[in-house]
């Protein structure tokens, strides 16, 4: 513990339930940074990628969700911290991390469906 030095970190696990509200949550984090980070970064966040359970994975989302994540990343780039206003915006690596999550997590969101397994319920129902 260092007196007068504290911070808060939000862990935003990237899954198919978090995409729609992500920008609103990041707006709140940005507001906290602007209010409370003066001489050092006090408000942090991370966006680890959820892989299991599969039904919550980004990989099952339709392609429209790629666009949502891209819009959030573009908005973040409009709100980067600057030399004039340090700690008041997003770091470039935070934007890159979100774009990486989109690229890795939304493999099938990009218009390609996951391969069917034999005996799956879709193929058993005759859907294709």
Structure confidence by residue, pLDDT tens digits, 37-74: 999 999 999 999 998 999 999 988 888 888 999 999 99
DSSP structural state of residue 5: B
Rounded to an integer, the average pLDDT of 93-115 is: 78
Rounded to an integer, the average pLDDT of 15-44 is: 96
pLDDT averaged over the chain? Answer: 86
pTM score, whole prediction: 0.80
Rg of the chain (C-alpha set): 18
Residues 6 or more apart whose Cβ sits within 8 Å of residue 30: 79, 89, 90
Instruction: Considering only residues 120 and 85, tell me which one the structure prediction assigns the higher pLDDT.
Output: 85
111: pLDDT strictly greater than 70: no
């Amino acid at each position: 513990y260092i007196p007068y030095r504290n911070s808060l970190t939000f862990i935003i696990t990237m899954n198919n339930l978090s995409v729609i509200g992500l920008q609103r949550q990041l707006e709140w984090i940005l507001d906290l940074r602007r209010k409370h980070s003066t001489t050092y970064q006090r408000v942090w966040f991370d966006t680890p990628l959820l892989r299991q359970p599969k039904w919550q994975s980004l990989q099952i989302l339709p392609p429209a969700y790629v666009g949502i994540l891209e819009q959030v990343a573009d908005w973040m780039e409009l709100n980067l911290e600057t030399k004039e206003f340090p700690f008041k915006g997003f770091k470039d690596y935070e934007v890159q991390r979100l774009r990486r999550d989109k690229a890795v997590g939304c493999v099938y969101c990009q218009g390609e469906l996951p391969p069917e397994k034999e005996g799956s319920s879709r193929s058993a129902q005759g859907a294709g």
